[in-house]
Structure 1
Amino acid sequence: MFELMLCSLLTIFPDYLFRRYVQGKRIGHEINLYTMWYELRWGISACLMLTISLITMIFYFHPSTSSVTAIFRTVTILPETVGRVDEVYVGINDKVAAGAPLFRLDDAQQKAAVETARRQIAQLEAEARVTETELATADGQIQEAQGALQVAIDEYEMKAQLLTRDAVARREVDRLANTIETRKGSLAAAVAKKETLAAKIKVLLPAQKASAEAALAQAQVELDKTLVRAGISGTVQQFTLRPGDVVNTMIRPAGILVPTQAGRGTLIAGFGQIEAQVIKRGMIAEATCIGRPFTIIPLVVTEVQDVIAAGQLRPTDQLIDVQQIARPGTLTVFLQPLFEGGLDKIPPGSSCIANAYTNNHDVLADPNIGTVRWVFLHVVDTVGLVHAMILRMQAMLLPVQTLVLSGH
């Protein structure tokens, strides 16, 4: 409407002045409802062409979209294991800090596993003390075997000397020789037993204790999993869990946690693909939101997604027909407030309307710019005012449209 009124002042109105004061044609006489098109045909045709060109220029160089949302992500409240709820510590809409307990599952089995692992460690520690006692016993057995071997050797040497004088029988000397070999075997067995006990104390029992401690740590981890805590500060929503409920990690979540800063500080807008060459990082933008009526929020484009989400492809066992994904998608643009706290009063999830404005100040400052280009860029920057006025009208009419004209 504004564009049509502006263009009519430059086309239809001068044509009428020419007809009225140069040709002497008056409204209601020569110019009436039936002859208006013929008499003002040049002005009306030029007005339509100029209006269409102006609207195209405005919407191309200063794009607008109503697909603007303060998108936020929620965190699903889920335990890491399946179990029956034993205690619940929070309720719906409760605000929790990071690490605060939310609910606890039945942990009788996990506590039993922890106690079993602790008993296993205690058993291994007791076995280590017993083995140390056996090691001291082995030292005594070694000394005993060494003494018996030395006695057999001394007796053998004495009988061997007597044998040279035929004072003893050879069978007696042979028996003593066999006794020496037996004593050596007993000594070797005692030494081997000591080495076995030493290896058990030094290697086997520490390894078994380390395994038991690892089992205890694993059992403690499983026990800790039964207490579900908040991973981030936020507000608990849709949390209707009660003691006795069975929570399943796949099909039965406990609720939703909305992070404190979720959806605050950034608006995500979807502009038409035709504006992909116009919207750049650093452009100034404005928005008005339903959650904050009668307010224009200055913004700046901080990021422009370099792909169109509508064209994404996920491999399956069927060939994809391009016609199925040919629906035009939008260009995703991230908008942040130009001034600190500009979006603080916008509830997460609010729907908004946004304009982005092309700024050619740097190009116009170039001394080598041509006259035609200079005029064109000035016109482009100037017509952005029309879009800004439209946005302000939308901000004024938005509550009326939402509360009255929508019929809700």
Structure 2
Amino acid sequence: MLELMFCSLLTILPDYLFRRYGQGRRIGKEITLYSVWFELRWGITACAMLTIGLITVIFYNHPSTSNAALFFRTVPIVPEINGRVAEVYIRGSGRIEKGAPIFRLDSSRQEAAAETARRKIVETDAALTVARSELASNESKIQEARSDLQQAQDELRTKQELMRRNANVVAQREIERLEVMVAGREAAVNSAIAARDTAQIRISTLLPAERESAVAALAQAQADLDKTVVRAGVTGRVEQFALRVGDIVNPLLRPGGVLIPEEAGRSSLQAGFSQIEAQVMKVGMVAEATCISKPWVIIPMVVTGVQDFIAAGQFRGGEQLIDVQQIARPGTILTFLEPLYPDGLDGVTPGSSCIANAYSSNHDRIESKETGSVKKVVLHAVDAVGLVHAMLLRIQALVLPIQTLVFTGH
């Protein structure tokens, strides 16, 4: 309507003034309801063409959309393991700090596993003490075996010396018995040394490894035990939480509730603009928005991101071919808008529906020396007509609460 009124001042009004004062035609006489088209056909035709062109320029270079909202993601309240609820620490909805407990699952199995791991550590420490005692005993056995070996070797040498001096003094059978005894005593010494080495290996390698395994098992059991207590991962609000003692929760199928982060939906606005404006939407464009949850307020914003893909074109591979006709509605260009001022979105409820405008700026092209004079005038006009869209947004912001409350009955 504003475009039509503006264009009529440049087309229909001059045509009427010419007919009135140039040709002497008067309203109600020569210009009637039935002859207005014939008399003002040039002005009406030019007005229609100019209005259509102006609307096209405005909506293309200064895009607008009502598909805008403050999206946010919630955090499901689920445990990492299946289990039955044993204790609930909060009731209903409310604010919760990061790390605060929400509910606890039955932990009898995890506590038993942790106690088993602790007992295994104690058992390993006891085995280490016993191994040290065995090592001391093995040292004594080695000394004893070496003493017996030394005695047998001395006796064998004595007999061999006597036999060398007089063969009839010592029997050959006695020499052989002593040689066998020395070999047995040497084997006993080697056995005692092997037992000592085994004890040392147990003390230095085996038992410490078993203890480390027991400590790791305890850590795993403690981690599983800690998982039975579900805590808030972020600071926020707990909603739709109705768990009771005895309920069974599943991390895939049965969440306990929803945790909404404190900063969710308070940093940026997501808006979907028409595909035809894909070449116009650029990062850094100035934008404005008005939201239903904060009526009669225009929020200055800036475009911080433009998604390179249109969601309507995505598909999931399967056993059937995808027909393009199955896309019922064309997708939009998703853009991310952030407020120019830190408190710009204060008072806007996360998830609120909004109306957003984005404004093109050709200042750099106008200031460029390579741009011709005619083109500069055209670019100035393109930037100037953004004022019309800004006025329309303010009219929408003014009418939106009335339209919502009165005409829709919500």
Same fold (TM over 0.5): yes
In 1, Cα distance between equivalents of 2:171 and 2:370: 133
SS in 2 for 1:76: strand
Q: Could you tell me which residue of structure 2 aligns to residue 224 of structure 1?
A: 226
- Matched to 2:136, the amino acid is A
Which of 363, 378, 396 aligns to 2:398? It is 396
Report Cα offsets for 1:202-227 as digits up to 9, x if no partner: 11111111111111111111111101
Q: Secondary structure at the match of 1:355?
A: strand
- Paired position in structure 2 for 1:71: 71
Counterparts of 1:332 and 1:310 in 2: how far apart (Å)? Answer: 11
Aligned: 1:375 with 2:377: yes
Residue 99 of structure 2 is aligned to residue 99 of structure 1:
yes
Q: Which residue of 2 aligns with 1:298?
A: 300
- Supply the distance in 2 between the matched residues of 1:367 and 1:134 (Cα, whole angstroms): 96
- Between the aligned partners of 1:40 and 1:170, the Cα distance in structure 2 is 152
Displacement after TM superposition at 1:159 (Å): 1.9
After TM superposition, the score normalised by the length of structure 1 is 0.97
**Cα deviation code 1:329-386 (max 9, x no counterpart):** 1001111111221112211111100111111222222344323212211211121111
Q: What is the RMSD computed on CA atoms of the aligned residues?
A: 1.3
Does residue 81 of structure 1 match 2:94? no
Q: How much has 1:407 moved relative to structure 2?
A: 2.2
Q: CA offset at residue 160 of structure 1?
A: 2.0
Alignment correspondent of 1:44: 44
Say which SS state the counterpart of residue 228 (structure 1) adopts.
strand
User: Conserved in 2, the CA contact under 8 Å of 1:91 and 1:236?
Assistant: no
Measured in 1, the distance between the counterparts of 2:222 and 2:106 equals 14
Using the alignment, how far apart are the partners of 2:384 and 2:260 within structure 1? 43
Which residue matches 1:194? 196
Task: State the distance in 1 between where 2:155 and 2:364 align.
Answer: 116
Q: Distance in 1 between matches of 2:212 and 2:12?
A: 94
**C-alpha distance in 2 between matches for 1:325 and 1:21:** 58
Contact kept, 8 Å, 1:265 with 1:344, in 2: the verdict is no
CA distance in structure 1 between the partners assigned to 2:364 and 2:172 by the alignment: 123
Instruction: Give 1:4-403 correspondences, 5 Å limit.
Output: 4-164=4-164, 165=166, 166-325=168-327, 327-403=329-405
**Amino acid of the residue matched to residue 359 of structure 2?**
Y
Pick which of 172-181 and 54-63 moved more: 172-181
Letter in 1 for 2:252: M
| In structure 2, distance between residues paired with 1:249 and 1:340 | 37
Counterpart code for 1:253: P
SS in 1 for 2:230: strand
C-alpha distance after superposition, 1:54-78 (max 9, x if no partner): 1111111111000010111111111
Amino-acid identity (%):
59
**Within 1, Cα distance between the matches of 2:285 and 2:324?**
34
Contact 1:70 1:348 in 2 (8 A): yes
Instruction: Tell me, in whole angstroms, the C-alpha distance in 1 between the residues paired with 2:341 and 2:370.
Output: 34
Q: CA deviation at 1:326?
A: 7.1
Give 2:154's aligned amino acid: D
Q: What 5-or-longer segments of structure 1 have no aligned partner? A: none
Q: Aligned with 2:26: secondary structure? A: coil
Shift of 1:113: 0.4
- Aligned-partner residue type, residue 192 of structure 1: A
**Stretches of 4+ moved more than 4 A in 1?**
none
What SS is found at the alignment partner of 2:238? strand
2: distance between equivalents of 1:147 and 1:171?
A: 24
Distance 2:371 2:204 in 1: 87
Q: Determine helix, strand or coil for the equivalent of 2:298.
A: strand
* Higher mean C-alpha displacement, 255-264 vs 358-367: 358-367
Letter in 1 for 2:55: I
Write the letter of the residue equivalent to 2:51: T
Matched position secondary structure for 2:180: helix
8 Å CA contact retained: 1:311, 1:326: no
1:9-51 deviation per Cα after TM superposition (whole angstroms, max 9, x unaligned): 1111111111111211111111111111111111111111111
Which segments of 5 or more consecutive residues in structure 2 lack a partner in the other structure? none
Distance 1:367 1:173, change over 3 A: closer
Cα distance in 2 between the residues matched to 1:100 and 1:3: 58
Deviates more, 1:260-269 or 1:85-94: 85-94
